[in-house]
Structure 1
């Protein structure tokens, strides 16, 4: 049985204040869990989804996530392998950054510090150099963090809305028309919009746009495709429209997300 599948069990048994775990082929499961430590994740290769009871977050290649201690979550990945570099921390600074789940660009200084910690991966004994280095990393984190990327989708509570979202995701490559979606579920567009926003807090059009951008980030992170092919796969006929929408949502152009 793969040890990495049960990282929460292993980590919670470690008595150190900080624990490093780098895994070149992370094994995911659908188990809900939490850690008594906060978790910094850097995706070296691949792409990961983080699920909480009411949100789904995308963590792209070469980006970081901070998961605060005690937060119930599970993880998944659309393709494998996924190379994760994780640092678990039981003591952090009294800063708002450490109290929320954040997905963010990885500044170069932070990336190099994370890569440097590979020498301590799965080391369960105390090491003074590791302790001092990770203490410095804790201080660096809030200083290098700029803003959390809005790569997050609300999770529906209403099964009927969940069915609508399944329909939307299955038709992501199409130019989705709201009246057509409503007709598919025997609803008026106005009623469907009201039910949708009531359940997940955003409009149907807003959800469609956000889902298309998140799916595009996933494809750009793992497929090696160009911007044009990804634009088509998420339902955009115009590359410029796709690029502008992408920029308006994330603040970067899609070509900046392509992994070499």
Structure 2
């Protein structure tokens, strides 16, 4: 298991630090860094929790995690190639103080790959400094549209069973009555608490769950779009495509192009 506990990131005496690893295993306990970090998934997929929300990073996507953000890994595909780059960022940069999850354009992908030559290098290196300063300076321009795709983890313990039920049965047609029985809450209380804790209705939460799962399956490349549509609970490819487009603002076929 690889973890960046073996190198004390916040004690390094350099503004940038590059860490690339095959079959990387990010820390699965909540932690934070003084530096911001760019997490790039070259192959496979990765789920991460940042400030109480779960995000999916599909292949060829990245997350900018701002300094001080509490985060951890939830799970990942069996084979994953992750590239992680840490950077000190100025107080004045509002972009670098926010979380961004985005599809990585070709130029940035090549810059990240080029940076591999400095992986785990502890000593100062002027070339590394100049190159990475340019990369992080240009990062806001590379993030054209951040994926706002996440699900919030409810803090209210009364939702533990309903959420578990949803995650296990998201493929099925779930009614609020089913969750009411699981939670021992009245329909009205459940709907109110669910919306307050997750920021969305039950049907919207289920839709987001289905789309997140479909992104994971699309990333693996093992199934056709039609097979994925049925695997995540849609009755037709058209229904899946409509749902996908309403959440992502592009079609499943467009997403496949971004990961090739």
TM-score above 0.5, yes or no: yes
Distance 1:255 1:8 in 2: 40
Distance 1:29 1:40 in 2: 15
Aligned to 2:65: 67
3-state DSSP of counterpart to 2:8: helix
**Further displaced range: 13-22 or 248-257:** 248-257
Distance 1:154 1:233 in 2: 23
Change (3 A) 1:138 1:47: same
Q: CA deviation at 1:92?
A: 4.6
- C-alpha contact (below 8 Å) 1:62/1:106 kept by paired residues: yes
- C-alpha contact (below 8 Å) 2:18/2:85 kept by paired residues: yes
What is the total number of aligned residue pairs between the two structures? Answer: 258
Change (3 A) 1:92 1:84: farther
Per-residue deviation, residues 31-50 of structure 1 (Å, max 9, x unmatched): 11111111011100111111
Distance 1:143 1:226 in 2: 33
Distance 1:199 1:76 in 2: 20
- What residue ranges of structure 2 are gaps of 5+ in the alignment? none
Aligned to 1:218: 216
TM-score (norm 2): 0.91
3-state DSSP of counterpart to 1:22: strand
3-state DSSP of counterpart to 1:176: coil
* RMSD after superposition: 1.9
**Further displaced range: 25-34 or 160-169:** 25-34
Aligned to 1:76: 74
Aligned to 1:95: 93
Per-residue deviation, residues 60-89 of structure 1 (Å, max 9, x unmatched): 110010001111111132422221111110
Determine whether 1:178 maps to 2:176: yes
3-state DSSP of counterpart to 1:6: coil
Determine whether 1:18 maps to 2:46: no
Aligned to 2:197: 199
TM-score (norm 1): 0.91
Aligned to 1:129: 127
**Further displaced range: 149-158 or 87-96:** 87-96
Aligned to 1:110: 108
- What residue ranges of structure 1 are gaps of 5+ in the alignment? none
**Candidates 239, 242, 251, aligned match of 1:241:** 239
Aligned to 2:228: 230
Q: CA deviation at 1:192?
A: 2.2
Distance 1:28 1:228 in 2: 33
- C-alpha contact (below 8 Å) 2:51/2:69 kept by paired residues: no
